């Protein structure tokens, strides 16, 4: 079974039910399936099964049609942020070798981008549903090398993750979910699949930027749940105070994930929504939502990441791959059908090195206490997590090092009460540098969340004997 098969089933059994809402536009399940078929027909006419298509994941209804239509046509989707910078886009294109780039990209440069509206034709053929072991998506993370790494997710991986999430959160066909998360990342795409797979209604909102729109749609559509990152909750509190409490009897669930959240913010949310199932997940692109905690049920363990998700096993291993005792720190490792199938374009042995036996190595350090709750102590990898968005230090350093006066740089993540982490840059300078101007250069070349919040001038950058930057030493 795939999400596409489930959507088709809903179009047959409850075709007039609303699947998608975007402003004044409402699409039924029957209408959704018809549009998916039109996209699939176009893709089938101009591409072969297994071809890749880069999709600008702009949270429009047209993206939803194209995403599932490409799957139905046997294509592999590569969803990317519409704000993706030119360097990253070029690298993703180089790795994925797409047949098409579709949607709207702010920094497309010379790349030809096909508008979603042009991917459309009358249905002229029938389609076989994807096989569970076919690759559905390539989600590009930023690895420790700074180069995009294409995480290959099969339809089986995606279906297993959706089952695990829906089981824990207790989603049903009666849910009406507000989607304000980016759909270029695992979290937002997962919510899209979970809701439509269950036969619920998805209300598409651009972002959490406008509290008037957020609460307006909550009221107008009788929203029963939504997903958010901790930074969004901090913003909602700052901009609207306790207003969300007005929806306490309406909201059945909230899913939170992707970054650190303070105990104070967790307790505040629990206080305002005493009867809402507030769930927070732990995971990564390669193993989406591997653990969950329910705030109200697990109130004594709020600073843990919870327990393994349904149908998931988590164990702690030492650096040499041996299981450790309860309470002992080690690498958090995950086993389950939701774990990705490989890295696109990389040898199988590279992917195999990320496992201890059947357990995927997350690169995160932590322990499991005597009650089975998992505590993450630190991120072993050097990726910086800004409000749930991952930042490669190398990507930022590459731009910094091109600026006149900056001889060398290194970036790390430092603690931030709102975003979890923010970027700090250490620079070796050959002359006086105006860091206000440096920020402007960075903002023209990188997404805003990747621009360092602070800078420190240092005499040298710590390195290994082989010349590799030792970023963790900069945290001391």
pLDDT value of position 88: 87
Q: What are phi and psi of 67, to 5 degrees?
A: -60, -55
Domain 384-475: CATH architecture, name and number where available:
2-Layer Sandwich (3.30)
| Closest C-alpha among 127, 162, 139, 105 to residue 40 | 127
Q: Look at residue 178 in the predicted model and tell me its pLDDT.
A: 98
Helix or strand run (H / E) with residue 330: strand 330-335
Find all residues with CB under 8 Å of 208, minimum gap 6, and list them: 180, 214, 228, 232, 235, 236
Measured over the CA atoms of residue 28, residue 30, residue 35 and residue 40, the dihedral's sign is positive
Mean pLDDT of the chain: 92
Pick the CATH number of 3-368 from 3.30.930.10, 3.40.50.2300, 3.40.640.10, 3.40.50.12780: 3.40.50.12780
Question: How much is the pLDDT for 466?
Answer: 47
pLDDT in tens, 289-312: 999 999 999 999 999 999 999 999
Q: Which residues contact 465 (CB under 8 A, 6 or more apart)?
A: none
Cβ atoms of 396 and 368 closer than 8 Å: no
Answer with the residue of higher pLDDT: 404 or 127. Answer: 404
Residue 241 reports pLDDT greater than 60: yes
pLDDT recorded at residue 378:
65
Cα distance between residue 437 and residue 422, in whole Å: 19
Measured CA to CA, the distance from residue 318 to residue 330 in angstroms comes to 5
The percentage of residues in the chain with a pLDDT greater than 70, rounded to a whole number, is 96
3-state DSSP assignment of residue 222: coil
What DSSP character marks residue 414?
A: E
Can you read off the two tokens belonging to residue 14? Answer: 């409850």
Q: The whole model's pTM is what?
A: 0.83
CA-to-CA separations, 206 to 66, 115, 181, 195, 256, in angstroms, rounded = 18, 19, 8, 17, 18
111 phi and psi, to 5 degrees? -70, 130
DSSP state of 427: E
Residue ranges covered by each domain of the chain: 3-368, 384-475
Question: How far is it, in rounded angstroms, from Cα 350 to Cα 343?
Answer: 8
In Å, how far from its chain's centre is CA 267? 25
Tokens of 470: 């030792």
Contacts of 312 (CB under 8 A, 6+ apart): 164, 290, 291, 334, 335, 336, 338
Half-sphere exposure in the Cβ direction for 123 (13 Å, CA): 12
Location of structure tokens 């995927």: 360
For residue 416, pLDDT over 50 is answered with yes
CA 329 to chain centre: 26
């Amino acid at each position: 079974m795939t999400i596409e098969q489930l959507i088709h089933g809903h179009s047959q059994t409850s075709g007039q039910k609303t699947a998608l809402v975007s402003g004044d536009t409402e699409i039924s399940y029957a209408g959704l399936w018809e549009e998916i078929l039109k996209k699939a027909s176009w893709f089938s006419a101009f591409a072969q099964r297994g071809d890749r298509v880069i999709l600008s994941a702009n949270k429009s209804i047209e993206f939803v049609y194209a995403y599932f239509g490409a799957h139905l046509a046997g294509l592999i989707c590569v969803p990317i942020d519409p704000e993706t910078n030119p360097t990253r886009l070029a690298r993703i294109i180089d790795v994925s070798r797409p047949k098409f780039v579709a949607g709207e990209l702010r920094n497309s440069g010379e790349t030809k981008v096909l508008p979603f509206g042009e991917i459309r034709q009358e249905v002229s053929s029938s389609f076989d549903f994807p096989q569970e072991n076919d690759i559905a998506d390539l989600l590009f993370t930023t690895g420790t090398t700074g180069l995009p790494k294409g995480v290959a997710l099969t339809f089986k991986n995606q279906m297993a993750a959706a089952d695990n999430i829906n089981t824990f959160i207790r989603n049903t066909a009666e849910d009406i979910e507000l989607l304000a998360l980016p759909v270029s990342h695992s979290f937002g795409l997962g919510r899209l699949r979970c809701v439509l797979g269950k036969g619920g209604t998805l209300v598409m909102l651009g972002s959490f930027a406008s509290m008037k729109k957020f609460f307006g749609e909550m009221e107008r559509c009788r929203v029963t749940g939504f997903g958010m990152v901790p930074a969004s909750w901090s913003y909602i509190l700052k901009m609207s105070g306790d207003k969300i409490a007005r929806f306490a009897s309406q909201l059945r669930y909230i899913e939170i994930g992707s970054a650190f959240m303070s105990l104070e913010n967790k307790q505040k949310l629990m206080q305002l929504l005493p009867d809402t199932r507030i769930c927070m997940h732990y995971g990564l692109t390669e193993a989406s939502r591997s653990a969950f905690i329910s705030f109200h049920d697990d109130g004594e363990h709020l600073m843990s990441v919870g327990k393994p998700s349904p149908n998931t096993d988590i164990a702690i291993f030492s650096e040499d791959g041996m299981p450790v005792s309860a309470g002992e720190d080690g690498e958090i490792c995950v086993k389950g059908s939701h774990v990705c199938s490989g890295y696109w374009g990389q040898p199988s042995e590279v992917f195999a090195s990320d496992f201890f036996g059947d357990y995927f190595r997350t690169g995160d350090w932590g322990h499991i206490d005597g009650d089975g709750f998992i505590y993450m102590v630190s991120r072993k990898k050097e990726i910086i997590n800004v409000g749930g968005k991952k930042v490669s230090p190398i990507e930022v350093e590459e731009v910094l090092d091109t600026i006149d006066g900056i001889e060398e740089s290194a970036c790390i993540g430092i603690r931030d009460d709102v975003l979890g982490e923010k970027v700090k840059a250490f620079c070796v300078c050959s002359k006086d540098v105006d860091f206000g101007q440096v920020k402007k250069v960075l903002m023209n070349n990188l997404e805003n969340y990747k621009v360092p919040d602070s800078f420190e001038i240092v005499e040298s950058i710590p390195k290994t004997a082989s010349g590799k930057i030792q970023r963790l030493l900069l945290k001391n």
